[in-house]
C-alpha cells in the first residue's frame, strides 16, 4: 500500500549499457538495493534513452510501493564530461550523434515532471562513498581516483561535491605527473586529451596497454603469453590484471609502476586539498586480496615518500566499496541534499 506521508528521493544512473535506479528517504536510508537493470539503448539516441530512464525510475518506485506524488527531488548522473546543468559534451560511452550537447537533465525533468539535479557519474559515486563513510558529517574531505579505461576523479568536501565553476573540477586524470620521477628514457606518454604526462597516461588501462606495447616492441619478454593476445581495445590490459594476480613478473612490474604513479598523483592532490582520505576505485578493487594489498602498499609507499611528512602519515588511502550501485545511490542522496538546501 502506498504511504502518502513519505518523502522520497529518486536516483537514476545512466550508463553506456544500462540504467540503475534507487530510492532514498529524508533520513538517507537506501530503500532499493537490488533491481532488474533497464537497458539504456544509448546507441538509439537520447530520445529513446530518456524513455528508458523513466522506466527505470518507475521500477524503483514500484519496488518500494511508492508513487510520483511522494517524490520530492530526483538525482541524475551520467558519464561525463558535461556542464554543471547536465549538457553533455562528447561522451565516449554514449554513441549516437544526437548525444552531443544534449541537455539530458532538462530532458529528463520534462519527461517526469519533477525537479532533477545533475552530477557526472564519478561525482555521484564519490558522494555515495562520502555518505557511506561519514554520513552527513560537515567537516570531512575525501578524494577519489577511479581506474578504468581512463582515470576519473572526484573530490567531496563537507558533503559537497567539488564539481567546479563549469562542471570540470576534479578531473584528476588530466593533472600532470612529474616525469622526472617516472620516465627514465625520455619517452613521456601522451594522454587521450593530446597532452603529455597527464596522470591518465600513467594510471589507466589505456596506459597499461601502451606500456605493454612498448616493452614488446623493445624485444623483452619474448615468450610472454600476452604477445598472443590482439593489441586492441582493453583485452590485453584486462588480461594483465589477471596475470598480475597469478604472480606474472611483467604484469606485476607494470602495476607496481602504476601504483607508484598513483601515489604521486595523490601527493599533488594532498598538497592542494589536504583531505582526510583518498579512495581508489574501479576494476582493480575486484582483484584478489593479495594483489590489492600489494598495489595499495605501492601507492602508499610512493605517497609517503614524496608528500610532506605530516600529510604522508595522516592521510589515509583505501579502496572504495562496491561500485555497482554507487552512482544511483549518490544521485539519490544528492537529490536529498539539494532538496534540504532549498527548503523542500
Q: How far is the CB of 81 from Zn ion (least distance, A)?
A: 12
Contact between 174 and Zn ion per CB under 5 A: yes
The region of 123-131, 191-199, 270-278, 300-308 touching Zn ion under the rule CB under 5 A is: 191-199
**Phi and psi of 323, rounded to 5°?**
-95, -5
- Least CB distance from residue 154 to Zn ion, whole Å? 17
Bond into 81 cis (ω within 30) = yes
Positions 147 through 166 that interact with Zn ion (CB under 5 A)? none
Among 193, 249, 310, 344, binds Zn ion (CB under 5 A): 193
Burial of 132 (0-12, 13-18, 19+ CB in 10 A): middle
How far is residue 61's CA from residue 116's CA, in Å, rounded to a whole number?
16
The strand pairing partners of 39, in sequence order, are 18
- Where do runs of H (alpha helix) occur along 113-204? 121-134, 179-182
The answer to the question of residue 23 lying near Zn ion (CB under 5 A) is no
E strands present in the chain: 8-14, 18-25, 38-39, 71-78, 116-120, 141-147, 151-157, 160-161, 277-282, 316-319
Q: Which stretch binds Zn ion (CB under 5 A): 55-63, 106-114, 172-180, 264-272?
A: 172-180
Which of 191, 259, 280, 339 is close enough to bind Zn ion by CB under 5 A? 191
90-129 mask for Zn ion (x: CB under 5 A)? ----------------------------------------
Indicate which single residue of 198, 267, 332, 339 sits in contact with Zn ion (rule: CB under 5 A).
Answer: 198
User: Of 114 and 176, which has the nearer Cβ to Zn ion?
Assistant: 176
**Pair 175, 269: CB distance under 8 Å:** yes
The site for Zn ion, by CB under 5 A, has a size of: 5
Q: Is residue 226 a contact residue for Zn ion (CB under 5 A)?
A: no
Q: Which residues contact Zn ion (rule: CB under 5 A)?
A: 174, 191, 193, 195, 198
Amino acid at each position: 500500500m502506498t504511504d502518502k506521508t513519505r518523502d522520497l528521493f529518486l536516483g537514476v544512473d545512466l550508463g553506456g549499457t544500462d540504467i540503475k535506479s534507487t530510492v532514498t528517504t529524508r533520513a538517507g536510508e537506501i530503500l532499493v538495493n537490488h533491481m532488474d537493470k533497464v537497458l539504456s539503448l544509448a546507441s538509439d539516441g537520447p530520445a529513446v534513452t530518456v524513455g528508458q530512464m523513466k522506466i527505470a525510475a518507475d521500477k524503483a518506485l514500484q519496488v518500494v510501493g511508492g508513487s510520483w506524488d511522494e517524490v520530492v527531488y530526483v538525482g541524475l548522473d551520467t558519464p561525463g564530461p558535461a556542464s554543471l546543468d547536465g549538457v553533455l559534451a562528447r561522451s565516449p560511452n554514449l554513441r549516437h550523434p544526437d548525444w552531443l550537447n544534449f541537455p539530458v537533465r532538462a530532458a529528463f525533468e520534462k519527461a517526469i515532471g519533477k525537479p532533477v539535479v545533475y552530477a557526472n557519474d564519478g561525482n555521484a559515486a564519490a558522494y555515495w562513498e562520502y555518505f557511506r563513510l561519514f554520513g552527513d558529517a560537515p567537516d570531512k574531505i575525501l578524494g577519489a581516483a577511479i581506474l578504468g579505461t581512463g582515470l576519473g576523479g572526484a573530490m567531496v568536501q563537507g558533503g559537497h561535491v567539488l564539481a567546479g565553476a563549469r562542471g570540470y573540477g576534479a578531473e584528476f586524470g588530466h593533472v600532470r605527473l612529474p616525469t622526472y620521477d617516472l620516465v627514465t628514457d625520455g619517452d613521456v606518454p601522451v594522454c587521450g586529451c593530446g597532452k603529455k604526462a597527464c596522470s591518465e597516461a600513467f594510471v589507466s588501462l589505456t596506459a597499461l596497454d601502451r606500456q605493454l606495447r612498448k616493452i614488446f616492441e623493445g624485444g623483452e619478454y619474448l615468450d610472454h603469453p600476452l604477445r598472443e593476445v590482439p593489441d586492441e581495445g582493453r583485452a590485453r590490459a584486462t588480461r594483465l590484471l589477471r596475470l598480475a594476480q597469478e604472480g606474472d613478473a611483467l604484469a606485476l612490474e607494470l602495476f607496481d609502476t602504476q601504483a607508484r604513479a598513483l601515489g604521486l598523483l595523490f601527493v599533488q592532490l594532498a598538497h592542494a586539498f589536504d583531505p582526510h582520505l583518498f579512495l581508489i576505485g574501479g576494476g582493480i578493487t575486484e582483484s584478489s586480496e593479495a594483489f590489492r594489498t600489494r598495489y595499495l602498499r605501492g601507492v602508499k609507499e610512493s605517497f609517503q615518500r614524496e608528500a610532506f611528512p605530516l600529510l604522508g602519515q595522516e592521510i589515509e588511502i583505501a579502496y572504495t566499496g562496491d561500485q555497482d550501485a554507487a552512482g544511483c545511490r549518490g544521485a539519490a542522496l544528492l537529490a536529498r541534499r539539494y532538496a534540504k538546501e532549498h527548503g523542500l
